[in-house]
A and B are shown apart, each in its own frame.
Chain A
Amino acid sequence: MIGASEGARTYRRLPGSLVQIRTIWKYELLRYLRSKRLLASVLIAVAVLGLTYALPLALGESYRGTETNIGVTVIDVGSLGIPPWELPYNSVGTLDDEGIDRGSLKLYVNGTEYPSGSTSWSIAGAEDRVPEQVSDSPTIIMFTGNVSGRLVTASYTWAMSEQDFDMKFINFASLLVIVSAALFGADALAGEYQNRTGYLILPNPLKREALFFGKFASCMTMGLVMLSILYAGVALLSVMTVDGIDDDLATSFALAVEYLLAAMAVAFLVSSIMNGTTGATVFTLLLFLMVMPAIDGVSSLAGQRIEASLTYAASTVIYILVDPYIENSADSLGNYPDPHTAVIVMFAYALVAILIGLRLFKRRQLVG
């Protein structure tokens, strides 16, 4: 029977909005899975990892290696005008390599191995006082005796620092966030109108808020899958290649997730306004890849920093890995945003874009 008799009709109670959000989330994910968009996202993240790792190797660069007979530039502390009693060493030497395995370092003076041990020489740490003239060198060796004027060479093994290794990959985190927002978020609401599936889903007993947040949750899940693959892959490769991970990698992941939230909210706002899915996707990509970075670039050239810029705030995703983090200053990497302000800015973008997008979606009519 197509419709059961009056008495046999099952009593139904309408589910709450949270249950409906979960249902929408589940079936939206199923749609992404079936349409191979989920697979494409995973492939993009894996490709980023694979290419970033393998291309430098293919081009002859390496992440670790052994060096022999490398010249050490030695300076007599006395020649720097520093009284000998001020520093607990007589000569200071510098090596241009960083990431040197201290246990493997051997020093030779005039071809003869210089005795190891802290009484002969040691590598300067953060707590050691070093002359200003050599403070920028990546590796500083403090000699107890005076070895200036003699030929000093070194042999050692080295590995790229965890920070440098991880930063190579995390540079792409922002790109993955933008791709997720454009591929999933920009299409989410506009697609219901363009593809006429709105005629199926909207005349149902559900609030538009439930549809909005159900779709938002599924898009966020897709973005999180991409980011998780990237960060998990980076952590794994980092441990395998340079024997550790940057201690700020988890913070970077948290910031990337917040950026994803903000970018997805902006994409939903675009999707709630635009009629076509292609237009919404292209507009979102242009916004994040051209318009916002252009504003950041121009303001940077003018010596100004727009703290309220979303893409500027999102640069903390990569800069947070830099140790020490230098706030409110410019260096070769550009301006570092204040991380606390960046967190607030990204959250504000997410909140405002969601509120406006939701309001527009609730008011939107299915005409034509």
Chain B
Amino acid sequence: MIEVRNLSKYFGSIKALDNLTLSIPKGRAVGFLGPNGAGKTTTIKILTNLIRATSGNALLNGCDVVIDPKNALGDVGAIVETPEFYPNLTPLEILSYLGSIRGMCRVDIRRRSDEVLRELKLDAWKDTRVGKFSKGMKQRLAIAQALIHEPEILILDEPTNGLDPRGMVEVREIIRMLKKQRRTVFMSSHLLFEVQETCDSAALIDHGKLLVYDSIENLGRLTKVTKIEVTSLNEVSLGIIQKIREMKNAMAVETVNPYTFLVTFEGPMEEQSELLRAIQAMGVEVKSFSPVGLPLEMLYMDLVRESR
């Protein structure tokens, strides 16, 4: 279980975290979202004892990270930013080093090193010095070191950062697998669909404040803004586009081509049918009328805009 209680952090006069409170129950995978500078990495750094909070507490499995960092981090695997590795050591040596510090015996280190390096497609490079690795390979190794000791809690700061599309898919698969194993995962990401695909819940912060924290399902319902793509059989004139723009719930209308346009719509689901009827009444022969984009993305844009 991860708990953050009334966490505040100042960097000089800049308030990075503002009384943040968050609780992640055991076995849940929670995405941590927010724009750049929102306080995501600051929160993760406090949880991993890299920086100290100005006030408040951060607890891992009930242990305060500041008071008892050794026990608090005892069952935690973490990736913070993109870590650098000692360039003269090989992946096997790095995993052996960190495994020993975390209390693994030699046999377990060997077995788990083989497993994680194979899974992360690094087994062919296990005896190559890390100094020769690309950014993507280092990110894979960062994930490997976070998993080697089979931690109960995983704190991942943008885990797919620097990976190619195939690597991203594989890492998401790994996170889904960890979720199935009832591990507690706390993952920050800029990729909203990644959070939507891999996590049970998401927490959105901005300016160091928690904006919303709920299950992905509920968050989708919370969104008030929807983007609807409308395709017509006949050409849509500029006059009609202008009329749609003037409608009560239409925030914006963008023309994609003479037959297709996008309506940014604010309002409950039931009012969308009224919009459809109104467009048809204007003489548009609607071929398709469907929401596009992710609900989480809509909510994110909505909340971040409001908070600013």
Chain A contacts with B in 163-186, Cβ cutoff 8 A: none
Structural contact, A14 and B71, CB atoms closer than 8 A: yes
**Taking the complex as formed, is B222 at the interface, i.e. its CB lies under 8 A from any CB of chain A?**
no
The contact of B182 among A6, A13, A206, by CB within 8 Å, is: A6
Residues of A within 8 A of B (CB-CB), count: 36
**Taking the complex as formed, is B162 at the interface, i.e. its CB lies under 8 A from any CB of chain A?**
no
Interchain CA distance A198-B86 in the complex, whole Å: 10
What residues of chain B lie closer than 8 Å to A12, measured between beta carbons? 102-104, 149
The contact of B85 among A13, A200, A204, by CB within 8 Å, is: A200
What residues of chain B lie closer than 8 Å to A10, measured between beta carbons? 104, 108, 150
What residues of chain A lie closer than 8 Å to B147, measured between beta carbons? 2-3
**Taking the complex as formed, is B237 at the interface, i.e. its CB lies under 8 A from any CB of chain A?**
no
Structural contact, A3 and B88, CB atoms closer than 8 A: no
Structural contact, B49 and A3, CB atoms closer than 8 A: no
**Taking the complex as formed, is A35 at the interface, i.e. its CB lies under 8 A from any CB of chain B?**
yes
What residues of chain B lie closer than 8 Å to A30, measured between beta carbons? 88-89, 93
Structural contact, B73 and A204, CB atoms closer than 8 A: yes
Among A200, A365, A366, A367, max chain B CB count under 10 A is at: A200
Structural contact, A34 and B129, CB atoms closer than 8 A: yes
Give the segment of A19-27, A43-51, A82-90, A242-250 that binds chain B: A19-27
Interchain CA distance A4-B178 in the complex, whole Å: 9
Structural contact, B84 and A31, CB atoms closer than 8 A: no
The size class of the interface chain B forms with chain A is 35 or more
What residues of chain A lie closer than 8 Å to B97, measured between beta carbons? 23, 27
**With contacts A199-B80, A203-B78, A205-B71 known, is A15 near B89, CB below 8 A?**
no
**With contacts A14-B102, A35-B88, A366-B51 known, is A205 near B73, CB below 8 A?**
yes
Interchain CA distance A207-B104 in the complex, whole Å: 17
- Nearest Cβ on chain B to A211's Cβ, whole angstroms: 9
**With contacts A10-B108, A203-B78 known, is A365 near B83, CB below 8 A?**
no
The contact of A2 among B94, B103, B145, B174, by CB within 8 Å, is: B174
Interchain CA distance A64-B238 in the complex, whole Å: 108
- Nearest Cβ on chain A to B159's Cβ, whole angstroms: 13
B95-137 vs A, CB cutoff 8 Å, 1 = contact: the mask equals 0011011111000100000011001100000000100000000
- Nearest Cβ on chain B to A4's Cβ, whole angstroms: 6
**With contacts A23-B100, A202-B48 known, is A207 near B116, CB below 8 A?**
no
Structural contact, B49 and A199, CB atoms closer than 8 A: no
Structural contact, A202 and B50, CB atoms closer than 8 A: yes
**With contacts A2-B147, A27-B97 known, is A14 near B83, CB below 8 A?**
no
Chain B contacts with A in 40-70, Cβ cutoff 8 A: 45, 48-52, 69-70
**Taking the complex as formed, is A301 at the interface, i.e. its CB lies under 8 A from any CB of chain B?**
no
Interchain CA distance A6-B181 in the complex, whole Å: 6
**With contacts A12-B149, A366-B45 known, is A197 near B86, CB below 8 A?**
yes
What residues of chain A lie closer than 8 Å to B187, measured between beta carbons? none
Q: Is the interface of A mostly helix, strand, loop or mixed?
A: loop
Structural contact, A14 and B115, CB atoms closer than 8 A: no
Chain A contacts with B in 242-299, Cβ cutoff 8 A: none
**Taking the complex as formed, is B285 at the interface, i.e. its CB lies under 8 A from any CB of chain A?**
no
What residues of chain A lie closer than 8 Å to B88, measured between beta carbons? 30-31, 34-35
What residues of chain A lie closer than 8 Å to B20, measured between beta carbons? none
Structural contact, B103 and A204, CB atoms closer than 8 A: no
What residues of chain A lie closer than 8 Å to B80, measured between beta carbons? 199, 203
What residues of chain B lie closer than 8 Å to A23, measured between beta carbons? 97, 100-101
**Taking the complex as formed, is A333 at the interface, i.e. its CB lies under 8 A from any CB of chain B?**
no
**With contacts A197-B83, A199-B80 known, is A1 near B115, CB below 8 A?**
yes
Structural contact, B103 and A14, CB atoms closer than 8 A: yes
**Taking the complex as formed, is B177 at the interface, i.e. its CB lies under 8 A from any CB of chain A?**
yes
Structural contact, A203 and B93, CB atoms closer than 8 A: no
**With contacts A2-B115, A27-B89, A198-B50 known, is A14 near B181, CB below 8 A?**
no
Chain B contacts with A in 130-167, Cβ cutoff 8 A: 142, 145, 147, 149-150, 155
**Taking the complex as formed, is B227 at the interface, i.e. its CB lies under 8 A from any CB of chain A?**
no
Interchain CA distance A199-B84 in the complex, whole Å: 7
Structural contact, B73 and A203, CB atoms closer than 8 A: yes
**Taking the complex as formed, is A102 at the interface, i.e. its CB lies under 8 A from any CB of chain B?**
no
**Taking the complex as formed, is A9 at the interface, i.e. its CB lies under 8 A from any CB of chain B?**
yes
The contact of B52 among A14, A196, A365, by CB within 8 Å, is: A365
Interchain CA distance A117-B220 in the complex, whole Å: 113
**Taking the complex as formed, is A133 at the interface, i.e. its CB lies under 8 A from any CB of chain B?**
no
**Taking the complex as formed, is A329 at the interface, i.e. its CB lies under 8 A from any CB of chain B?**
no
**Taking the complex as formed, is A195 at the interface, i.e. its CB lies under 8 A from any CB of chain B?**
yes
Structural contact, B181 and A3, CB atoms closer than 8 A: yes
Structural contact, B51 and A367, CB atoms closer than 8 A: yes
Structural contact, A3 and B100, CB atoms closer than 8 A: no
**With contacts A2-B177, A34-B129, A366-B51 known, is A205 near B86, CB below 8 A?**
no
Interchain CA distance A366-B103 in the complex, whole Å: 24
- Nearest Cβ on chain B to A35's Cβ, whole angstroms: 5
The contact of B183 among A3, A14, A197, A367, by CB within 8 Å, is: A3
**Taking the complex as formed, is B74 at the interface, i.e. its CB lies under 8 A from any CB of chain A?**
yes
- A3-B147, A365-B51 known, 17 other contacts, Cβ within 8 Å: A2-B115, A2-B178, A3-B177, A6-B181, A27-B97, A30-B93, A34-B129, A196-B84, A197-B83, A197-B85, A199-B50, A200-B145, A202-B49, A203-B76, A204-B98, A204-B101, A205-B102
Q: Which residues of A come within 8 Å of B, CB atoms? A: 1-6, 9-10, 12-15, 20, 23-24, 27, 30-31, 34-35, 195-207, 365-367
Q: Closest 7 CB pairs between A and B?
A: A34-B88, A203-B48, A199-B83, A196-B84, A200-B83, A365-B51, A366-B50
